Every structure is written in C-alpha cells, then in structure tokens.
Amino acid sequence: MDDKREQGIVLTEAQLRSRRHRSIAIALALGVLVLLFFAVTLVKGPAVLVRPI
C-alpha cells in the first residue's frame, strides 16, 4: 500500500501549506454563512413560518 502512495502525486511543503490555508478560509466562510442565516432567522422571528401556502 505504501508503494501506491509513493507513486502518486507528492505535494511540496508550500502546496500543503497553501491547501491548509485554503481549507481554513473555506471553513471560516462557511461558518460566517451559517451565522448569517441564523441571525436572519432570529431577526425575522416567527414571521418565517407565517406565509401563504
């Protein structure tokens, strides 16, 4: 199994660091989006559920 891993693409330290920074940025953006949706839901209150069918 180690043989297959060594034959694959090996990333440099800079590429691994870049991947980590990108993953952290995506996670933070997703967290902000979740908080934004939560805040909008709190501001709208129960009016979110009151709508014509």
**Is it the case that residue 53 has pLDDT exceeding 70?**
yes
pTM value?
A: 0.67
CA dist 18 and 49 (Å) reads: 43
* Band (52; pLDDT cuts 50, 70, 90): confident
**Is it the case that residue 49 has pLDDT exceeding 80?**
no
Q: Among the residues of 1-53, which ranges form H helices?
A: 2-7, 13-44
Domain boundaries, the chain: 11-48
pLDDT in tens, 4-48: 556 799 999 999 999 999 999 999 999 999 999 999 888 887 776
Q: What is the pLDDT of residue 41?
A: 86
